[in-house]
Amino acid sequence: MCLAIPMQVLEIDGMDARCEAKGIERRVSLFLLQHETIEPGDCVVVHVGYAIQKMSPEEAVRPGSCSTRCWPRTHRHKGCAVHELAVCQGLIDQIERVARAQHASTVHAAVVAVGALSGVEPELLQSAFVIARAGTVAAQAQLRVDTLPARVDCPVCGLCAEVPVNRLLCPGCGTWRVRVVGGEELTLMQVELSRAADAMLPAGASA
């Protein structure tokens, strides 16, 4: 699994940098870039908490480059997870709201439904989740991704069927005048959590 996220360096403290991408701030280690001169304002490619490559200003601001704009359905950099990182930040916000409402101390898992037309890559979502969950109530949580197929409903022949994402036509009569009824989902389905009181029960205790 190769995942690279372009982030901007905001502040440097020794081997640590405070970096930002799409409003998400994370501590990033500069350990692997000791041979480079990194300064606040520089862009780096971040992989599991380590800056692995300095991006030139040209790369960072090139029109259509991931750090400025990433449109997953048309062009995206190979391995770019900026879109998924933004999605994960939204998921974490939702998970934290659920956890607060339930007075939960720990979130063990979250299940998210991802439609084939949502523009989200499940593998990149998994990796981005590991970054987004850090320092939150979901820091140890597993993300389970349920992928859902594209489905169309045909007003001509009445067929409702699964279709390939690159062929949104009615498989029955061939019309393109179909209604997409599935595949655009991007929904938090379930959160598994435990409350502080549960965690404090001694092992083997019975009610």
Residues of this chain that interact with Zn ion (CB under 5 A) are 154, 156-157, 159, 170, 172-173
Select 10 or 173, whichever has its Cβ closest to Zn ion.
Answer: 173
First to last CA, the chain: 45
String of DSSP letters for 151-172: EEE-TTT--EEEE-TT--S-TT
Helix (H, G, I), strand (E, B) or coil at 59: helix
Q: Which is nearer to Zn ion, 104 or 154 (CB)?
A: 154
Q: Give the nearer residue to Zn ion in terms of CB position, either 134 or 157.
A: 157
Amino acid sitting at position 14: G
Q: Nearest Cα to 135, choosing from 107, 111, 156, 163?
A: 107
Shortest gap between Cβ of 170 and Zn ion (angstroms)?
3
Comparison of 150 and 154: residue with beta carbon closer to Zn ion: 154
Nearer to Zn ion, 59 or 153 (CB): 153
Q: How far is the CB of 156 from Zn ion (least distance, A)?
A: 4
Nearest approach in angstroms of CB 165 to Zn ion is 18
The residue behind tokens 């990194």 is: 38
Q: How open is the CA angle 74-112-28, to the nearest 5 degrees?
A: 70
User: Which C-beta is closer to Zn ion: that of 159 or that of 186?
Assistant: 159
Burial zone of 81 (CB within 10 Å; 0-12 exposed, 13-18 middle, 19+ buried): buried
Count of residues making up the chain = 207
Shortest Cβ distance from residue 159 to Zn ion (Å)?
5
Least separation in angstroms between residue 152's CB and Zn ion is 9
Rounded to 10 degrees, the C-alpha dihedral 181/187/189/190 comes to 170
Tell me the closest approach of the beta carbon of residue 178 to Zn ion, in angstroms.
7
